[in-house]
């Protein structure tokens, strides 16, 4: 997976120029555009956090050599699914940023042709709704999927620790010692997730 990040939307020359024009002419739509840009920035931060978590999951997976196969498989499946989600969200975010830049280009062009009159109907230059809806849907699906994976990993981890406790208690019973009533604490993998 590529670690290359796209530059922040605020650094785009069309976005900068349009915001400058909007500020100069005190356009009401400037707040809406800034809200969308802030939203993009927040999603980029969340995506960066997801990439860091994915990296941590990969490291944990590499350190799991001694863990039972079901735990390794669950963690490997979770890592692959999260990687796919990150790639999809990155593509959705790129499409949203492209729509914003295209809208800025179109509005600047109209402003150069028609003057400030073009700034009064900015919404028609931005076709963001489909990109925002796709991003929202994919984020919601990612959250649901992550919740299912976390529940599965927690269940596998709990069962693994219960089984370990039962085996220890069998050994303790054979040596005449009392059984331990409490299972081992969750693993680093479960804590990480």
Whether pLDDT at 67 is above 60: yes
- 11-28 average pLDDT score: 92
Q: What is the DSSP letter of 66?
A: T
Residue located via tokens 């500020």: 23
Whether pLDDT at 16 is above 90: yes
Express each pLDDT in 68-119 by its tens digit.
Answer: 677 778 778 888 888 888 888 889 888 889 989 998 999 999 899 988 888 8
Long-range contacts of 139-144, Cβ-Cβ distance < 8 Å, separation of 24 or more: 139/43, 139/89, 141/85, 142/85, 142/89
pLDDT at res. 46: 84
Residue 157 vs residues 62, 122, 154, 179: alpha-carbon distances, Å: 17, 53, 5, 21
More confident residue, 163 or 105: 105
Express each pLDDT in 129-145 by its tens digit.
Answer: 777 788 778 777 877 87
The contacts of residue 63 (CB under 8 Å, 6+ apart) are 188
Q: How far apart are CA 160 and CA 145, in angstroms?
A: 22
DSSP per-residue letters across 122-190: GGGG---HHHHHHHHHHHHHHHHHHHHHHHHHHHHHHHHHHHHHHHHHHHHHHTTPPPP-SPPPPPHHH
- 54-67 average pLDDT score: 78
């Amino acid at each position: 997976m590529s670690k290359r990040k796209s530059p922040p939307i605020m650094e785009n020359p069309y976005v900068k120029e349009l915001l400058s024009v909007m500020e100069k002419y005190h356009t009401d739509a400037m707040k809406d555009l800034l809200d969308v840009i802030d939203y993009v920035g927040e999603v980029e931060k969340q995506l960066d956090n997801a990439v860091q978590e994915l990296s941590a999951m990969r490291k944990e997976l590499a350190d799991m050599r001694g863990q039972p196969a079901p735990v390794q498989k669950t963690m490997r499946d979770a890592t692959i699914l999260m990687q796919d989600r990150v790639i999809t969200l990155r593509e959705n975010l790129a499409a949203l940023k492209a729509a914003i830049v295209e809208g800025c280009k179109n509005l600047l062009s109209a402003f150069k042709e028609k003057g400030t009159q073009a700034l009064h109907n900015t919404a028609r230059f931005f076709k963001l709704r489909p990109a925002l809806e796709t991003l929202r849907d994919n984020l919601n699906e990612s959250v649901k999927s992550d919740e299912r994976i976390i529940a599965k990993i927690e269940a596998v981890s709990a069962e693994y620790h219960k089984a370990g406790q039962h085996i220890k208690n069998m050994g303790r019973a054979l040596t005449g010692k009392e059984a331990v009533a409490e299972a081992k604490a969750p693993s680093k993998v479960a804590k990480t997730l």
